Amino acid sequence: MKRSSALVAVILAVIIIAVGGYSYYEFASTGNMAISVSDLPSSNVTAVYITFTDVALHSNTSGWQNFTVDKTVNIYGLTTSNASLLANISLHAGKYTMIRLYISKVVVTIAGQNYTFSTSAHFAFINHPFTVSAHSTTSVTIEFDLRSDLNLQSRIFTPYVGFTTG
């Protein structure tokens, strides 16, 4: 009887240690990623409102991970020093290789008039590796080039982006 009670106690202790160790591992292997957006300005334009719906991040170990954003940002006049925070995401630490910023709407103000532009792609694609370290925040600024992105005559937005880590 004493032997079976001792065996049960040892098994419970092993289970508790295993669960606690796994919980520590999960907590210890996460970091944060702050994603911001900015632009290079275009002439005759006074505002560019982009509605972002999702951010997708790709790593070779876990594939694509999607995160809901649902935020509209006037990126006109934003630079890497005053970029607008789009999302602060908690994710597993590791190396990531690609980012997709999903865009649902682009409204451009030209000479005081608002125009809804069509998009040539539903997302901006960034193919650039970066590392998210555990217990820290990796800052990434994605810079749109409005001089190239906006076709003012045909009212089409084509997301050409640059990448800056901070």
Model confidence at 2: pLDDT above 80 = no
- For tokens 């925040």, name the residue: 137
Range of the domain at 58: 31-165
- Percent of the chain residues past pLDDT 70, beyond the cut: 78
**What is the structure's pLDDT at 123?**
94
End-to-end CA distance of the chain: give it in Å, rounded.
63
Model confidence at 54: pLDDT above 50 = yes
Residue 112: inside a domain: yes
**Number of compact structural domains in the chain:** 1
Please, which residues have CB within 8 angstroms of residue 17's CB and are 6 or more apart in sequence?
none
Model confidence at 12: pLDDT above 50 = no
What pLDDT, in 10s, does the model give residues 78-121?
Answer: 888 899 999 999 999 999 999 999 999 999 999 899 999 999 99
Residue 62: inside a domain: yes
What pLDDT, in 10s, does the model give residues 13-37?
Answer: 445 555 555 444 455 678 887 888 8
**What is the structure's pLDDT at 98?**
94
**What is the structure's pLDDT at 10?**
45
**What is the structure's pLDDT at 23?**
47
H or E element in which residue 158 lies:
none
What pLDDT, in 10s, does the model give residues 56-86?
Answer: 999 988 899 999 999 999 999 888 889 999 9
Strands (E), 11-83: 30-40, 45-59, 63-74
Please, which residues have CB within 8 angstroms of residue 132's CB and are 6 or more apart in sequence?
31, 32, 33, 91, 92, 93, 94, 96, 138
Residue 6: inside a domain: no
Specify the pTM: 0.76
Residue 59: inside a domain: yes
Q: How many of the other CB atoms lie within 10 Å of CB of 14?
A: 10
Alpha carbon separation from 134 to 33, 48, 62 (Å, rounded): 10, 35, 16
CATH assignment at residue 130? 2.60.40
Alpha helices in 46-137 (DSSP H): none
Local confidence band at 43 (pLDDT 50, 70, 90 cut-offs): low
Residue 125: inside a domain: yes
Residue 151: inside a domain: yes
**What is the structure's pLDDT at 111?**
87
**What is the structure's pLDDT at 31?**
83
Please, which residues have CB within 8 angstroms of residue 83's CB and are 6 or more apart in sequence?
36, 37, 38, 141, 143
Burial of 164 (0-12, 13-18, 19+ CB in 10 A): middle
Regarding predicted confidence, which is higher, 39 or 33?
33
**What is the structure's pLDDT at 100?**
95
Residue 25: inside a domain: no
**Cα Rg for the chain, rounded, in angstroms?**
23
